[in-house]
Structure 1
Amino acid sequence: MSAPAASDPTKPSPPPRPEMGIRRGLASRIVGRTGGGLAAVLLALIALFWLMPTFGLLVSSLRDPQEMSKSGWWKVLGKPSDLTFSNYDKLLDNKDMTRAFFNTIWITVPSTLLVILIGSLAAYAFAWLEFPGRDWLFLVVVGLLVVPVQVALIPISKLYGDTGLFGTITGVVLFHVAFGLPFAVFLLRNYFAGIPRDLLEAARMDGGTDLTIFFRVILPLGLPAIASLGIFQFLWVWNDMLIALIYADTESAPLTVALQSQSRAFGANIDVLAPGAFLSLIVPVLVFFGFQRYFVQGVMAGAVK
């Protein structure tokens, strides 16, 4: 049998067969070609369209009420001198709206802080403490995530009527805390469970108690997830109208309920509605952008190890 002929190094190698290369689909080719400046321009245009209603509401809140009924808000772009802050002066002089704004703060801030505190303590217990029935109890907490708010409206109304909490800010806060805790425990427990055990064992060897470990180790390392939870809870409570409409009276109603009641006479008080709606919108936006860095870290925390 003859030996196989040696290949000639000077001879060019044949081109690779099509099946040997990586076949790219139509979608991947489109993404590859538009992944540069064109994609950035497209995203910028989408962001501008997304911010257009907010900008329109801002301009409307600075216009004269009579002009609002005659033309669209974009007409003022040619005459910026027509913008005025008189609508905000009327808003501040309206006692119902100012009281509703402060009621919103008294409802939102305690609801957010209590959910963060109680939820983080419970999440630490579910993640790192051993006690009988821990896993089953955590499954119950996870199951509470699917319970709709509407299921508890009538029973809680009867309970609030018996305890004197109906129509108070305290009753609204307690309702938001109760329905915010399952999500808080679920989110924070999964994040706390990913903290290295060596850090906790080192803290215990140094004589740290569970509270010391929680405040000195868990909370600083869990700040991204806690910030994400705080943003979710703040936005949910600040923008809520259903719970406040049922459990809050006139003196304890938040800004959403006040705007809803003012909208019944839309043509007569547009000068109060426009700045009030913008004020109700801009506060959550500022909170989100203020904690955006921690929010992104919390959302992406489980993506890479």
Structure 2
Amino acid sequence: MNCPHKLEGDTVHQEIRQWFRETARDLPWRGGCTPWGILVSEIMLQQTPVVRVRPVWEQWMARWPTPGAFAAESQGEVLRAWGRLGYPRRALRLHAAATQLVQRHDGAVPDTFDELLALPGVGSYTAAAVAAFAFGRRETVVDTNIRRVHARLVIGQALPSPALTAAEMALAAELLPEDPAESVEWNAGVMELGALVCTARSPKCGLCPVIDQCAWIAAGQPEPTYLPKGQPWAGTDRQVRGAVMAVLRAAESPVHADLLWGPAVEAAAAAAHTDHPDDVAAALQKLHELNTHALQLQRALAGLVTDGLAQLSGDGYHLPH
């Protein structure tokens, strides 16, 4: 595949890599971090911003510095520690991956794309990112930020296509430097450029190290051909599921179904008989403030059980053991 916009390849590579060395954020999973720490960060950063991930990641690394330590923990405690990062099934998949690392890889994170891809919850992006950033492999890493930089810098479009295409992957592979060390820094640099400068809304083009070669700038910064649609939250099943999970995380013993269904005042009084009553009462109040209808709450509870995020024992719901 030929780049639609002719770049001065060596110059672009050098300028973005130099910019990255000078301005990159000091993130704990960069520079000297273990492969396990990098794997955990990549899972946590899926659809979750750095500012929310960082404190949780630091707590996890202090508590579970190795795959073996993490695999030995209960699923319930893992979900409790996941907190409000969202999409908690990621925590269960990470726990399954750690178990597989112990069983098949002597407790170590493998260093090849194919072995990483075989781990539960690890897709092609995550496998490539861990192989590159943890082991210095020459891999084509393509996330949302990289796609946006490529779309503007090379294609001249305001935004990449709504879904990742084969053409985008081919372009990313063509742009990747041949030298493994340079390719790793290039991947990290383009990703950082997209996160800090070439943002989806209000890009800071004046700070871009390669503005003079940007096809989007040269084309007069045309408007996007579509408007990105953010995922709705208020009133959705996801919001209700999150509120229920907050209750279960706060309680260390099963939460009677009546607490989840009953009026807020009665629920708060009943919560006094649970572990950590103040935390449980606060979580229950937030759940009840949603004023969800019965069918939606029932659907949310059933979905949590089906997904392995909650269990029903007798009349009480609790995190999995």
Q: Which TM-score band applies after superposition, normalised by the shorter structure?
A: under 0.3
Normalising by structure 2, report the TM-score: 0.26
- Mark the structure with the bigger radius of gyration: 1
Greater relative contact order structure (CA < 8 Å, 6+ sep): 1
Normalising by structure 1, report the TM-score: 0.27
